[in-house]
Amino acid sequence: MDIRTLLGPIRCLVLLLFALGVSAAPGLCQDLEGTSPEEEEGRLQTQAPSDEVLITVEQYGVGGVIRPGGYAGIRIGLRDKQTDPRDVAVRLHIPDPDGDTVLEEKQVSIGGDIAGGALWLYGVIPPTFSAGDYLTVTVHELNDGTVGRQIASLRPTASTLVDLVSDRRGSDVGMIGVIVDNDGLGQRASVPGLSHYENPMQFVAQRDLVVQHQPFKVVSSIDVGLLPDRWMGLEPYEVLVWSGIDPSSLDGARAGALREWIQRGGHLVVMLRHPGQAWFGRDVERVADFVPRATIRPVGDADLEDYRSLLTWRTREEAELPARRALYAFDVEPDAQAGEAIPVVSGPDGPVVVRRLMGAGMITFVGLNLADVRGPIRGDVFWHRLLGQRFSVVVPRYTGDGKPRAYTQSGSIDETIADRGIGAEISRSRTAGVGILLALVLF
C-alpha cells in the first residue's frame, strides 16, 4: 500500500486528538488543583476539615523583610490534631519565573509533648511575584524516611508577600538588622546613631537618595528567639547588630546559621553591655570562634569627654558627655594572628572597638555603652568607622537646650546625568566612518 494514501487519515486522527486535548485541558487542570480560580479565592488561608495538621504562616522573612530575587525565610507553625508524636515532611512550593514550582522540604517531628511547633523554610522569592502567584505549604507522612501521603495543605494569602516584593527599594536597599530579646513581643530596640542611616527627609516621588548612593533600612525588632536555623534566612541583611543579649540564648543550629552568614560576607556587630564578659566566658563554646583574640578589660570610671571625637561633631558647649561611665577596653593577645584581633577604634584607655575576620565577613565588638551618650552620637562619626561608609547624614540642628530645631525641605530635586553625552559621542557615524576609511587605507 502506498504510504501517501495513509497520510490523510493520520492527519485527521492527529487533529482530532489535539482538539480533544485542548477541550479537556481546563477541566484537567481544575481537577489537579482541586478548585477553580473563583473557588480558590475563597479557600485562601483556610484548610479542609479533614486535614490532620493545622498550618499557619507566622512570618515572611526574618524581621518581616525580604529581598526580592534572593533567599527568604518563611516561618511555618504546625499543630497536630493527633496526640501521638510522629515524623512528617513539610514542603514549601514556590513558583519560579519560568513557570515551574520549586520544592523546599524539611523533615520534623510533631505531636505529643514535642516542644516547638514552628519551623523555618527557605526559598527564593521571585522579583516578579504578584497577586496572581501563590505559595503552597503541604505536610506529608514520613515512613522510614520515605515521604508518604499528604495529610494537610495550606495556600496562604499572598498580599503581605506581594507588598514586600513590590517595595521599590527591596532589591538594592542595604538592610541593617538589630537583634533584641523581647520574648516575641515585637518591641523595637533603639541603637543610638544608627537611625541616621535611614534618611528622614522624604522628597517628592519618593526619591530620598539625597546624600548617598544606596538607601538603608534599619530593622529594629529581630527577636533572638526567632532567628533562623539556616544562613539563607539572614541573607537579606548586610549588617546585624547584637544589642546586649547574652550569647547563651543561641542554640547550636542558630549559632551555625549566624556563623555561615558571616563567612559568606555578613557583618555582625556585638554591643557589649554590663556585664559583657559573657561573650568571653567558657560557657559559650558554640560561639567561641566569634570572639577576637583579645582580653576584655573593664574600665569603671572612664571620662567619655576623651572619646568625643569618636562619637560626635558637637562641641562641649553644644552637648556635654558623661564624665564617669563604665566601658570595656581590649588588650590584643601577643600571639594573635592577622585578622584575629584588629583594633578599629582606640581611646585613652586602649582599643574600645576590636574586630575579627571570619571568611568573607567579620565580627566587631564594641566596648562603649552607647546608651550612656544617646543624644549626641552621630552616625557618620561613629558608625561610619565600623561599617565602612562615607556618605553624609541628614540630622536636625540643635538649640542651646539640646532640643532639635525644626527644619524644612524644598520638595524639589534636579537630576544631573553625568554620562548623558557619552552615547552621542559613540554614535557619531561621520567620525567613525572617516576613521574606518583611514584604517583601510593605511593597513
**Model confidence over 2-31: pLDDT tens digits?**
545 544 555 555 555 544 443 433 333 333
What are the strands of the beta sheet with 101-110, ordered from one edge? 101-110, 86-95, 136-143, 146-154
Pairing assessment for the beta strands 118-124 and 71-80 based on DSSP bridges: antiparallel
**Tens digit of pLDDT for each residue in 375-406?**
667 778 888 889 988 877 766 555 555 555 55
Q: Are residues 301 and 377 in the same domain?
A: yes
Q: Where are the beta strands (DSSP E) in 211-341?
A: 216-223, 237-243, 267-271, 294-302, 325-332
Q: Are residues 144 and 198 in the same domain?
A: no
Does residue 358 sit within a domain? yes
Does residue 35 sit within a domain? no
**Tens digit of pLDDT for each residue in 288-304?**
899 999 999 988 888 88
Q: State the residue for C-alpha cell 581611646.
A: 347
Q: Are residues 185 and 275 in the same domain?
A: yes
Count of the separate structural domains present in the chain: 2
CA distance 54 to 300: 54
Q: Are residues 144 and 279 in the same domain?
A: no
Q: Are residues 122 and 217 in the same domain?
A: no
Q: Across the chain, how many H-helices and E-strands are there?
A: 8, 16
Full domain range(s) for residue 182: 172-387
Does residue 37 sit within a domain? no
Q: Are residues 377 and 331 in the same domain?
A: yes
CATH number for the domain including 353? 3.40.50
| pTM, two decimal places | 0.77
